[in-house]
Amino acid sequence: MIRSMYSGISGMKNFQTKLDVIGNNIANVNTYGFKKGRVTFKDMVNQTISGASGPSQGKGGLNPKQVGLGSQLATIDTIDTQGSPQTTGRVLDLAIQGDGYLVVAEGTPGAAGFPTSTYFTRAGNLYINTEGYIVTSAGHYVLATDGNINPKPIKLNDGDIEGIKNLSISEDGKITYIASIPEGTNVVGDFTREGTSDLFISDISIALARFKNPGGLEKVGDNLYINSANSGEAAYKVPGVDGAGILVSGALEMSNVDLSEEFTEMIVAQRGFQANTRIITTSDEILQELVNLKR
């Protein structure tokens, strides 16, 4: 009976963790770029009452006799399947169609040691700050690359954003805009003038990072991830190149949480929790009977 009580306790703890993960999934059902979690269990150590024996003296063999001692957490997975794109019509809203994460960073652009920290995200609601840099909602700098250089922040019109018109972002992460700049100025920061027009096209593309094991990324809040020992190092790619996804301007990737699935899993976890409490109460009743044998 004592073993069954402790098995029930282990089951209750595990189902409580499962409910915590389900609750977090439901809370983030409308969080852009959120990837849901999933809990799996495994059995705990087994107590062997008698071992197995092979056939001998005209008798067949015997299987081992073991009593399980409960369950424990196996994994809490991050399910990195594609979320549905939601059309917004806003140019700086980017959804990633396919594999990859936007690369964002903290630090002072142009200063030694930049970036001080690098993160990865699927949330593509971007903005332009007062200095002309493209940033996230938390103020992290969005990085760009041409596939051969380390990602760096991209600056529009050297910070003169008042003269920018008709901003657009292509599938391969190239940024274009129209700006009235004196003739003869053919290069502005990371942008090159298209002929004699006022159209400027970026020389680098918004970077995407790919990982050997995206499920190994570690969540750090603010829709951000960092690489871990099991995710592998980031490989920086131009969108649409070497297996990286493409960018869809004017859309945002929704959470991949399925409410019907989460509520079903919630019911399963609730009933599993109740069943384990019943194991404890039943074991307690039997122990009570044993105590009352001598009155």
Q: Is residue 59 part of a domain?
A: no
The pTM of the full predicted model, rounded to 2 decimals, is 0.86
Over the Cα atoms of the chain, what is R_g? Answer: 28
Closest-CA residue to 225 (of 146, 121, 153, 125) = 121
Residue 57 lies in a domain: no
Distance CA 283, CA 1 (A): 5
132 within domain boundaries: yes
Is residue 107 located within the same domain as residue 211? yes
Q: Examine the domain organization and report whether 152 and 206 are in the same domain.
A: yes
Alpha-carbon distance values, 81 to 77, 100, 124 (Å): 12, 11, 16
Whether residues 204 and 104 fall in one domain: yes
| 241 in any annotated domain | yes
Tell me what pLDDT residue 180 has: 78
* 238 in the same domain as 102: yes
Predicted confidence band of residue 1 (pLDDT cuts 50, 70, 90)? low
Residue 72 token pair: 């424990």
**Domain shared by 207 and 261, yes or no:** no
Tell whether 234 is covered by a domain: yes
Evaluate if residue 66 carries a pLDDT over 80.
yes
The confidence band for 289, taking pLDDT boundaries of 50, 70 and 90, is confident
pLDDT score, position 295: 67
Co-location of 244 and 267 in the same domain: no
Q: Could you tell me if 200 and 266 are in contact, meaning their C-beta atoms sit under 8 angstroms apart?
A: no
Same domain, 122 and 242: yes
139 with 270, same domain: the answer is no
Q: Does 39 or 45 have the greater pLDDT score? A: 39
Total residue count of the chain as it appears in this document? 295
- Are 132 and 118 within one domain? yes
pLDDT digits (tens, 9 = 90+) for 136-161: 999 999 999 987 778 899 888 766 66
pLDDT at 160: 67
Residue 187 lies in a domain: yes
Average pLDDT over residues 57-76: 88
CB 171 within 8 A of CB 208: no
Whether residue 107 sits in one domain with residue 73: no
Answer whether residue 284 is part of any domain: yes
Residues 39 and 70 in one domain: yes
> Is residue 55 situated within a structural domain?
no
pLDDT tens-place string over residues 217-273: 999 999 999 999 999 999 999 999 989 999 999 999 999 999 999 999 999 999 999
Task: State whether 74 and 97 are in the same domain.
Answer: no
Give the closest residue to 172 by CA, choosing from 133, 149, 202, 192. 202
Residue-range definition of the domain harbouring residue 35: 2-48+66-80+257-291
Say how far apart CA 137 and CA 124 lie, in whole Å: 9
The number of distinct structural domains making up the chain is: 2
